[in-house]
Chains A and B, each alone.
Chain A
């Protein structure tokens, strides 16, 4: 009896506590599937002005919620993606674009990755070429070469060398 009462009261408490959550949930009903998909793309590509490392889709800040509502309204009004992006850029600057336009100020941003890849490839190429190059340099003179060979032969094969090297035999 008491247990039952306790269970009922807890259930009531849980419902009371969770109730505010229903209202704040961000449910949007789109008139067309196309609007829904464009909305998803836009909120993923636009940056929250307040919490700067999140896009509008991920951010919980009030301003992000406002901007999501604004984008939703504009989509339903039939505005194009470009119009919506322009609207936000006019207010928050190009800062809100995770995909900045290619222009003078952003050229470094766009070109650096490619440049770094090129530099990386060049380094790999140089290292590979150095590794595959002959070990002996042609700069050594004739008798130097012979001396080098002798030395290499000497130290390189002490085991099958039976003569007076005084090695560990």
Chain B
């Protein structure tokens, strides 16, 4: 019995090590969205490039859509832009949310890098971003036919993220 007691520190260490090791593999920025399985918040915002036109949350209904939060000041958005172009080329419907951005810069960006978005809504003061719980671009939401948010990815979408994380969710809403 007292021999077993000698192993207590080792056991404590092993338990701690397992927890810490587990923690190492988790993304500290991963935060479950509070809006999963909730409808896209109500909004009415102008469209980038056609500012006289206002769209609302109904634009996200009817067919499965990716809602991608982007801005020209966001470095990581630059990284994922080419991949969004590719997805759009494959027929994935993407609606952009141009988040607290300079409109001239934003239009220039789409003209130069290509426009993967069916349209981008202008969220100049970040109100819709706030309602969506956006805390940093890029963020991408998988929205189903009924306009309900099913999944949220924070960070760059590249081939690995798409294949492993987003695609399974995207297939679910088809």
Instruction: Kindly state the separation between the CA atoms of A91 and B135 in the bound complex, as whole angstroms.
Output: 10
The smallest C-beta distance from A138 to any residue of chain B, in angstroms, reads: 20
Judge whether A63 is part of the interface by a CB distance below 8 angstroms: yes
Which of the residues A89, A91, A93 comes within 8 Å of B32, measured between beta carbons? A93
Q: A66 with B28: in contact, given A49-B135, A92-B34, A93-B34 (CB under 8 Å)?
A: no
Enumerate chain B interface residues (CB-CB to A < 8 A).
28-29, 31-35, 100, 126, 130-136
Q: A49-B31, A66-B126 are in contact. Are A92 and B133 (CB under 8 A)?
A: yes
**Nearest residue, chain B, Cβ from A94:** B34
**Nearest chain B CB to A115 CB, angstrom units:** 15
Cα distance A91–B139 in the bound complex, in angstroms: 14
Interface size on A, residues (CB 8 A): 15
The residue of chain B having its C-beta at the shortest distance from the C-beta of A67 within the complex is B130
25 A-B residue pairs with CB within 8 Å: A49-B31, A49-B133, A49-B135, A50-B135, A50-B136, A52-B28, A52-B31, A62-B100, A63-B134, A66-B126, A66-B130, A70-B130, A89-B34, A90-B34, A91-B34, A91-B35, A91-B131, A91-B132, A91-B133, A92-B31, A92-B34, A92-B133, A92-B135, A93-B32, A93-B33
Q: How far is the CB of B34 from chain A (nearest CB, A)?
A: 4
A residues 53-102 touching B (CB-CB < 8 Å): 62-63, 66-67, 70, 89-95
Q: How far is the CB of A50 from chain B (nearest CB, A)?
A: 5
Bound Cα distance A49, B33 (Å): 11
Q: Is the CB of A93 within 8 A of B31?
A: yes
CB-CB nearest in chain A for B133: A91
In the bound assembly, the distance between CA atoms of A70 and B28 in angstroms comes to: 25
Q: Which residues of chain A are within 8 angstroms of B134 by Cβ–Cβ distance?
A: 63
The reply to whether B126 and A95 contact each other, CB–CB distance below 8 Å, is no
Q: Is the beta-carbon distance between B126 and A93 smaller than 8 angstroms?
A: no
